[in-house]
């Protein structure tokens, strides 16, 4: 996935003459929700230092790549995009390119060897250094590489320029203590470090005070939350505490780990009204033999038991998952075991991946790496099964009434179909007919599902209720929430415009 952060920059007041051109930036994001949220912080840091976002469709003075290293094609995407920028960098030496995130943490100096026109390389633990590194590279005309080995400051202390007026990410932890053999994340983001509950809740309250209706709590393993400060049950307590925040209408979280998913979390989900009836529970494989080789410390029956208990407590919960196809040594029977678990679990959706060998992970050196054609054939069979299940599960929603948080940019064909889009409380995407009403992203509407497809629902009937919200007001005004604090860094953009004085212009 690639997300480009680029919106209209501030304008100069009529009649004012800026002392120097404002330097603009663009952040290009690859990968998971963690990276998307980190990019909000990168934007916040750059804006605090005086940069402004580039107007959509224009060339930015600074292009920042926030990278992912989970899959092999992430490398190819990054270096392909860097190559595309090389001619512009050659023609405009003052434009700057920065590479950060997980792939930068992994490749380090190799980034400059492959793309010597890059100005700054920074890692996952020191995103706060970006403005200083850019200034240093600009003045010294020498590329800057700074890769910290451990977290220097919890990222949520950094300023963040939020992308949405109505929904926000809130990190509760960074890093991971698991040792899955296919995953490179622990070596790039380090051991788990948790924020104190009071800090998390204070950030949530700050967002709600600015009109945000929905928060998603983020962590590599959210149900291990509390390990850093020795409190068992801390995640369930955090969910319940979110339920006490007035104005917070929806709470989601990602991702839990089946090995540590406990009944107190299920109870908190069921008993806290603003916790949404949705759960993303990574499976990875339905084969006990493969799960053991992956070092996933649960087995298929335990996983299915969690699904059963969640559905008993929250009957209408929409459950999604992650699955890897073609792990080294996976047999046809192992794959059939996965298909069996998928059929029993009845996932609303599944994020499926063909195994990607990542240097530095134990799985990369395992024997019995599978031929690509075998992996591709199994992958397609899994896709076909899950598409069938997703369609059946969505068809069961036809005729039901849904409450939607109206979203921006979720429906790529909305303009052609004269529909808008929103997310139901269970996370399903719904394209709905607005019927000419003045509905804004961030508003809440209630409508009835009329049709289903594997990946979305359609509601072409009359909107039965529409609630205008502060979030909708903010979105319409182009106002986005801001969190974090400034770091006292010197500005690098244009200084305030000087007053116009008399005299002749030469």
Does the annotation list 183 as a binding residue?
A: yes
What are the counts of helices (DSSP H) followed by strands (DSSP E) for the chain? 15, 24
Does the annotation list 32 as a binding residue?
A: yes
Does the annotation list 504 as a binding residue?
A: no
The 10 Å CB-count burial string (b at 16+, else e) for 357-368 is ebeebebeeeee
Verify cis geometry, omega within 30 degrees of 0, for the bond prior to 436: no
For the stretch 392-396, contacts whose Cβ atoms lie closer than 8 Å and that sit 24 or more positions apart, written own/partner, are 393/318, 393/346, 393/347, 393/348, 394/348, 394/428, 394/452, 394/453, 394/454, 394/456, 394/457, 395/452
Q: How far apart are CA 231 and CA 316, in angstroms?
A: 30
Q: How many CA atoms lie within 13 A of 103 on its CB side?
A: 26
User: 3-state DSSP call for residue 293?
Assistant: helix
CA 30 to each of CA 42, 62, 129: distance values in angstroms, whole numbers, following the listed order: 14, 17, 20
Q: How far apart are CA 91 and CA 101, in angstroms?
A: 27
The residue among 210, 160, 168 whose CA lies nearest residue 48 is 160
Which segments within 269-390 are labelled E, that is strand? 278-280, 318-325, 349-354
Q: How many CB atoms lie within 10 A of CB 280?
A: 20
Q: How far apart are CA 170 and CA 203, in angstroms?
A: 7
Does the annotation list 102 as a binding residue?
A: yes
CA 456 to each of CA 195, 349, 451: distance values in angstroms, whole numbers, following the listed order: 35, 10, 9
Backbone conformation region of residue 284, classed left if phi is above 0, alpha if psi is from -120 to 50, else beta: left
Does the annotation list 242 as a binding residue?
A: no
CA 235 to each of CA 218, 264, 415: distance values in angstroms, whole numbers, following the listed order: 11, 9, 41
Q: How far apart are CA 268 and CA 275, in angstroms?
A: 8
Q: How far apart are CA 274 and CA 243, in angstroms?
A: 6
DSSP 359: T
Does the annotation list 68 as a binding residue?
A: yes
Backbone conformation region of residue 23, classed left if phi is above 0, alpha if psi is from -120 to 50, else beta: beta
Q: How far apart are CA 286 and CA 307, in angstroms?
A: 13
Q: Which residues line the annotated binding site? A: 32, 68, 102, 176, 180, 183
Q: Which residues line the annotated binding site for [4Fe-4S] cluster? A: 32, 68, 102, 176, 180, 183
């Amino acid at each position: 996935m690639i997300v480009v952060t680029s919106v209209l920059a501030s304008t100069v007041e009529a009649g004012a003459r800026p002392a120097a051109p404002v330097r603009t930036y663009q952040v290009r994001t690859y990968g998971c929700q963690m990276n998307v949220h980190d990019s909000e912080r990168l934007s916040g840091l750059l804006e605090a230092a005086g940069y402004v976002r580039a107007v959509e469709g224009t060339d930015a003075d600074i292009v920042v790549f926030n990278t992912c290293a989970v899959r092999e094609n992430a490398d190819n995407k990054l270096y392909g995009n860097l190559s595309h920028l090389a001619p512009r960098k050659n023609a405009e030496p003052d434009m700057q390119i920065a590479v950060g995130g997980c792939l930068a943490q992994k490749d380090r100096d190799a980034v400059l060897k492959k793309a010597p026109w890059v100005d700054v390389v920074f890692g996952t633990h020191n995103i706060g250094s970006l403005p200083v590194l850019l200034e240093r590279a600009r003045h010294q005309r020498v590329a800057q590489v700074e890769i910290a080995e451990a977290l220097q400051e919890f990222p949520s202390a950094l300023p963040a320029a939020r992308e949405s007026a109505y929904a926000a990410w809130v990190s509760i932890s960074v890093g991971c203590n698991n040792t899955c053999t296919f995953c490179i994340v622990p070596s790039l983001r380090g051991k788990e470090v948790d924020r104190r509950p009071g800090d998390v809740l204070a950030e949530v309250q700050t967002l709600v005070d600015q009109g945000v209706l929905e928060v998603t709590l983020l962590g590599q393993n959210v149900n291990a939350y509390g390990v850093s400060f020795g409190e068992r049950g801390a995640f369930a307590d955090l969910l319940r505490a979110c339920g006490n925040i007035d104005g917070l209408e929806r709470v989601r979280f990602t991702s839990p780990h089946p090995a540590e998913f406990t009944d107190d979390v299920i109870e908190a989900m069921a008993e806290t009204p603003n916790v949404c009836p949705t759960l993303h529970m990574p499976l990875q494989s339905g084969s006990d033999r493969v799960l053991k080789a992956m070092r996933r410390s649960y087995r298929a029956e335990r996983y299915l038991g969690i699904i059963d208990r969640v559905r008993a407590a929250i009957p209408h919960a929409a459950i999604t998952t992650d699955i890897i196809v073609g792990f080294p040594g996976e047999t046809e029977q192992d794959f059939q075991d996965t298909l069996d678990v998928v059929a029993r679990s009845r996932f609303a959706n599944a994020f499926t991946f063909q195994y990607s060998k990542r240097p530095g992970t134990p799985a990369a050196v395992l024997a019995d790496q599978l031929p690509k054609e075998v992996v591709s054939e199994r992958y397609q069979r899994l896709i076909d099964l899950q598409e069938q299940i997703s369609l059946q599960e969505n068809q069961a929603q036809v005729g039901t009434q849904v409450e939607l948080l109206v979203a921006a940019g979720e429906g790529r064909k909305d303009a052609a179909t004269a529909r808008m889009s929103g997310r139901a409380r269970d996370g399903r995407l719904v394209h709905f007919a607005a019927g000419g009403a003045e509905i804004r992203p961030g508003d809440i509407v209630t409508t009835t599902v009329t049709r289903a497809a594997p990946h979305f629902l359609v509601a072409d009937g009359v909107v039965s209720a529409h609630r205008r919200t502060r979030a909708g007001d903010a979105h319409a005004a182009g106002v986005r929430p801001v969190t974090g604090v400034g770091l006292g860094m010197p500005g690098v953009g244009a200084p305030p415009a000087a007053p116009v004085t008399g005299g002749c212009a030469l």
